Amino acid sequence: MKTALTAAALITPTKRLENAVLVMEDSRIEAVGTRDQIAITQSMKHVDFGDSVLAPGFIDMHIHGAAGHDVMEGTSDALTAVETLLAAHGVTSYCPTTVTAPMDKTLAALEQLGRSIGDASKHAGKVRARPVGIHLEGPFISTAKCGVHPIADITAPTLVLFDQLWNASQGSVRVMTIAPELSGAEEVIREASKRGVCVSLGHSNALAAETQKAIAAGAAHVTHTFNAMRPLDHREPGILGVALSDSGLTADIIADGVHVAPEILRLFLACKKDDGAVLISDGISATGMGDGKFKLGTIEVEVRGMECRANGKLAGSVLTLDRAVRNVMQISQWKLERVVRLATLNPARILGITDRKGSLAPGKDADIVVLTPHGEIVKTIIGGVGA
């Protein structure tokens, strides 16, 4: 049966339609338009969301866990809990993100996550965020800018080791954070890019010239801009200067009010603009759980309010992507339709999944978030389920 959703407005996200209609059948979108353009027939199920706004489902390309579980646990129960909480906050697709750990634990986690991504049947009929590829954060990072990643488990990048990680994931790695200044990094960046991996520069003390070499080798993105990287200097701009000034480079940011100041968030948006900025949560197992002690991989993290710390250092966040959208609206004064792009179309392009995700258009997956005009979640629909 076809289902017609109506709402006050719809964000595609490249344009906004008023008095909107979206028709879906099974798991796909069939038509998008206005009430004047699309007739709702008696054979359709009609769901009216009143003054709400229809938008593409959010895509979180950097998240370690939620609901008390870390994605590196890899178990069905852990992923079910994480994916259910994500869906409640408007996330319909995500990249389970690793953290530097002993190699045997990393390989085991990649094997389990790779199997999960390959098993679409476990999501059938359920409102749970769908994994679209693994984000490998570590072990190819700088010991000088490692944050809470265990130094003992950080490893120099080599093609042999990258191939081992790739094979363990069954080819499911879609994002890899790497420090470009490391010996061997350029070769690994080139190979990963050939395999369709979005190579993201982060946890890095790189100079500007080292960053430029990595971009020439295939790096295309920057991980949690400003955090865990060489500070901006007017004579040696470093990785951050390149990240902000290179319009061909996309970059993400943690807009939780803790990782960067409001002025820095506005600077980031002014530099990366609508098509170059991405919102991520960098959420850990504590997300949705309140204060206490939780795990990030093998690392114990203490959470108080919005701050997650291990040995005094920030260790991920408890941010959700819907809250990030609202934070950006408030801090930057951007309208909802402008901010939504940073959590939908932009990450979909980076991940190479715009044929299915990131926008509301005929033929795309029926991944839809229903929002209030202020960005609060009303309902999440994933693969047509949940309407």
Cite the active site residues. 282
The H or E element that residue 165 is part of is helix 159-168
Cα separation, 285 vs 65, in Å, equals: 4
Q: Give the contacts of 308 (CB within 8 A, at least 6 positions apart).
A: 284, 286, 294, 296, 301, 302, 314, 315, 316, 317, 318
Q: How many CA atoms lie within 13 A of 121 on its CB side?
A: 2
Concatenated DSSP letters of 311-330: TTEE--B---HHHHHHHHHH
Name the token pair of 330.
């408030």
User: What Rg, from alpha-carbon coordinates, does the chain have?
Assistant: 20
Q: Identify any residues that bridge with 369 across adjacent strands, giving them in sequence order.
A: 55, 380
Coil, helix or strand at residue 10? strand
What's the DSSP call for residue 131? E
| 20 touches 9 (CB < 8 A) | yes
Ramachandran sector of residue 50 (left: φ over 0; alpha: ψ -120 to 50; beta: rest): left
337 alpha carbon, distance to own chain's centre: 18
Letter for the amino acid at 90?
A: G
Cα separation, 132 vs 143, in Å, equals: 29
Cα→Cα distances 90→165, 239, 313, 375, Å: 30, 32, 29, 10
Q: Which phi and psi angles does 109 have, rounded to 5°?
A: -65, -40
Cα separation, 365 vs 311, in Å, equals: 43
